[in-house]
């Protein structure tokens, strides 16, 4: 592959040692070429204008201008796919890092410290993947585009007992959009499996609760599911549900082998919900690489559940929802702005409440 066809990368990192490692890792891949570096957010903005990269890797904690502020300015002027690479481990610091998603970054991944580490491999893979994403001025605008038409199949009439959502690359901002649109009296629990780097889940959960205004917490073993709350699967554990014998459901967390390369996996959650909840469930599959949860969304549909796939056009990576659409597993294909509204409508209509415009926070 000639240099003209390589993906042009700008590395933004205030640590000289870390900057050198990232440059080495990226240049070691024949599809990538580092065309510039920056030591802080102000330099990053200048280098984007000068180098015109295809992708930017962005540190978060930097002098003069942090990663979120630099991302916002870049996305308002010269939009480019931005991958935030974070070395934070404390929960609050990780939650703070997620501000970069509000500013327009596509994804947040773990900072590599060794050349042969999983984090190093993930960084190179993510940079190549994000180079294919079409960004616009301020990413949030992309989430309000027109959706593919919803299917006309009538919804089942059973009450909604539970909403199960699976997401991967690009999922955090979509989840924020969906949860923020749900009414205060949303009468069903929401279970979430989000593929994310180890150590980021607690911070992600804290950020999602604050950014959406919806009650969000980490899932814990045997917790009874409460309506109007969202539960996020923890690092390294599959999440499932079981009947509590009193008309409700409880959380089951297990180790076990990864499914579709993931633990927690969307497939594991959807299979469990299909068995325990059936036609009283709603399954939602959002943006992400691979096919985790796609076939199992079809199982939910076969059980009579309402199933929703994010539209290809609105997905950062259309792998998971695209596979579900290909398998005819989704009863509705929608952009994020429509998904929350449909969930609110389904829960109100099917749980016997009057259908009005959902109240907003």
* CA distance linking residue 291 with residue 301, whole number of Å: 17
CA atoms within 13 A on the CB side of 258: 8
Q: Residue 91 has which token pair?
A: 């929960």
Q: Is the dihedral of CA 273, 274, 277, 281 positive or negative?
A: positive
> What are the residue numbers of the active site?
168, 195, 292
3-state helix, strand and coil shares in percent for the chain, rounded to the nearest 5:
40, 20, 40
Angle at CA 98, nearest 5°, toward 95 and 102?
135
Other C-beta atoms within 10 Å of 208: how many? 24
Residue the block writes with tokens 């016997």: 352
Strand 55-58 and strand 162-167: pairing?
unpaired
188 DSSP assignment: S
Angle at CA 92, nearest 5°, toward 201 and 196?
20
Identify any residues that bridge with 335 across adjacent strands, giving them in sequence order. none
| Full strand arrangement of the beta sheet holding 32-38 | 32-38, 7-12, 55-58, 82-86, 107-110
329 DSSP assignment: -
* CA distance linking residue 29 with residue 41, whole number of Å: 26
Identify any residues that bridge with 190 across adjacent strands, giving them in sequence order. 163, 230
């Amino acid at each position: 592959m000639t240099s003209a066809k390589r993906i042009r990368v700008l590395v933004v990192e205030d640590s000289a040692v870390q900057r050198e490692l990232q440059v080495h890792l990226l240049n070691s891949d024949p599809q990538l070429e580092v065309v510039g570096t920056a030591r802080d957010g102000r330099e990053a903005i200048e280098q984007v204008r000068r180098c015109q990269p295809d992708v930017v890797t962005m540190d978060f904690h930097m002098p003069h201008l942090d990663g979120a502020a630099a991302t916002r300015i870049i996305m308002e002027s010269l939009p480019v796919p931005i991958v935030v690479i974070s070395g934070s481990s404390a929960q609050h610091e990780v939650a703070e890092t997620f501000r970069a998603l509000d500013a327009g970054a596509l994804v947040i991944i773990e900072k590599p410290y060794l050349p042969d580490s999983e984090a190093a491999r993930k960084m190179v893979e993510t940079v190549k993947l994000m180079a294919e994403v079409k960004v616009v001025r301020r990413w949030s605008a992309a989430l309000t585009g027109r959706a593919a038409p919803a299917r006309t199949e009538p919804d089942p009439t059973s009450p909604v007992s539970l909403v199960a959502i699976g997401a991967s690359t690009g999922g955090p901002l979509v989840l924020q959009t969906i949860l923020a649109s749900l009414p205060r009296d949303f009468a069903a629990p929401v279970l979430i499996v989000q593929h994310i780097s180890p150590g980021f889940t607690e911070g992600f959960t804290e950020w999602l609760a604050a950014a959406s205004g919806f009650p969000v917490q980490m899932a814990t073993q045997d917790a009874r599911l409460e309506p109007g709350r969202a539960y996020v699967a923890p690092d390294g554990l599959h999440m499932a549900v079981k009947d509590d014998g009193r008309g409700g459901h409880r959380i089951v967390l297990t180790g076990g082998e990864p499914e579709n390369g993931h633990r927690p996996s969307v497939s594991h959650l959807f299979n469990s919900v299909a068995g325990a909840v059936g036609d009283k469930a709603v399954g939602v599959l959002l943006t992400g690489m691979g096919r985790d949860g796609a076939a199992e969304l079809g199982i939910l549909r076969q059980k009579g559940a309402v199933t929703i796939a994010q539209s290809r056009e609105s997905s950062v990576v259309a792998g998971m929802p695209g596979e579900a659409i290909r398998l005819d597993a989704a009863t509705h294909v929608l952009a994020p702005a429509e998904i929350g509204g449909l969930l609110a409508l389904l829960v109100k209509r099917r749980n016997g409440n009057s259908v009005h415009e959902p109240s907003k926070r």
